[in-house]
Chain A
Amino acid sequence: MIDIKQYIESGVIEEYVLGKLSEQERAEVECLSTTYPEISKEVEESLISLTLFAEIGATDPKPELKEKIWESILIETKPENIIKLQQSEGTANTSAEKSNIMNYAVAAVLAIIAIGSSYWAFQTNSQLSKAEMEIAELNTANKNIVSDFTTLKDIINKNNSIYELPKAQVIKLEGVAEKSPESMAFAVWDKESGNVYLDVKKLPKNPDGKQYQLWTISDKGQPISVGVFDQSGQKEIINLGRAETSIMFAVTLEKAGGVESPTMSEMYISGKVKS
């Protein structure tokens, strides 16, 4: 369990406010401040102190500096970069046009194949008697139901077996109010093997190019990635990786493949580990 008082007294918050921390350490402070009001209060107060310092020492620069700085801003931010950007957009358009032509060609070939095979199916089907067709359809439907049922039963059994692991601790991850209040999942942490399983109950589908990432916050307050996953609506519990120690689990939406430290504004669900 993290000692909040000791954490605050370590001075890490002051260093955070002064922008002196590494990306990882910064993420750690932000992560903890979403969970512990004492930490977020300390961050707020340190920001006030910093502003206070600036106010106490405020000194007017010489008046002509205002115009000089404005001119230098206009020169320094000349739209050279913007022109480069437009050029690259132009290139992208040309290749997009090319790929459109390819798409049309592929679509045309597919259409021809589809028409051909439909015709063949029609010919074959018409040779079967109505009864034979019905039996075939019923058989297929039956097989599908059995297969679905077996899969579902397997999933339920597998899911239950995870929850029933002798050293498993279940942590409820609730939706972050500003991001996705409806979302919910259970993290099952097998303290014997260290494996962390995620049983997602509700979470929006991840957009293309993005994946969800599960984090454990270690007992030292450090966010460590457990693994990434897609939210495709499947009901199966997924094993994402291992966690040695944990005071909290959280899920953020990141670029596909995951990132080194969590993006706090993209946190969807989180839950404290009861010790």
Chain B
Amino acid sequence: MPEAVLALEGLHKRFGALAATDDVSLTLRPGEIHALIGPNGAGKSTLIAQIAGSLRPDAGRVLLGGVDVTGESVAARARRGLGRSFQVSSLAEPLPAIRNVMIAVQALAGHSFRFWKPVARDPRLVEPAMAALERMGLGHRAATPVAELSHGERRALEVACALALRPRVLLLDEPMAGLGPEGSAHLTELLERLKAEVPILLIEHDMEAVFRLAERISVLVAGRIIAHGDGDTIRRDPQVRDAYLGD
């Protein structure tokens, strides 16, 4: 079995009496989409925050490409190749779409303490950013301010920003949230093509997309992973049906 690009080992996080993350372990292997599903309040956001680095676990480790990054900042983990998108779009609204992507290209190209050369026409920044936009079908919207993009375009732009980092791991937090059936199908297609290149940890509510995309699914309920396996296993699991699938 190939080495996991992302591994969580026995993560614990408590807020007072609430165990928001209760002994969570999971892995993400090259070439796969691993979906994490769970009802509202299951602790998905808390878990993502610990993977991304904005929240420290009380116990356990986060490994990126075999390296323990548990003590590292958000920016340091990003530099190690963790790309992510947010449940609620987190973009610079007044800036053109491409500027949001270029900042990722710039980070990848090295440090940002370059004070003189203008970035606006620097092909080393513009071209990779444009390529990432085009992969997500946003090439024609490069110069449009984010504030003028549709909801679906913003979701795609978030993924483009993550892609521009040339990540080793993608952490996508409900990328389909708020997309109509058409947008959702479109993004599903894009992700399917993407996974050969970058393994994806997908947190998603859209069950149709999850069952179509994911090789493996983990179900998080009340901070614990109660089931783990491929689509069929999860669909048949009585505990999951009871807690989540709702019948």
Q: Are A and B a genuine interacting pair, yes or no?
A: no
Residue positions of A touching B, CB distance < 8 A: none
Residue positions of B touching A, CB distance < 8 A: none
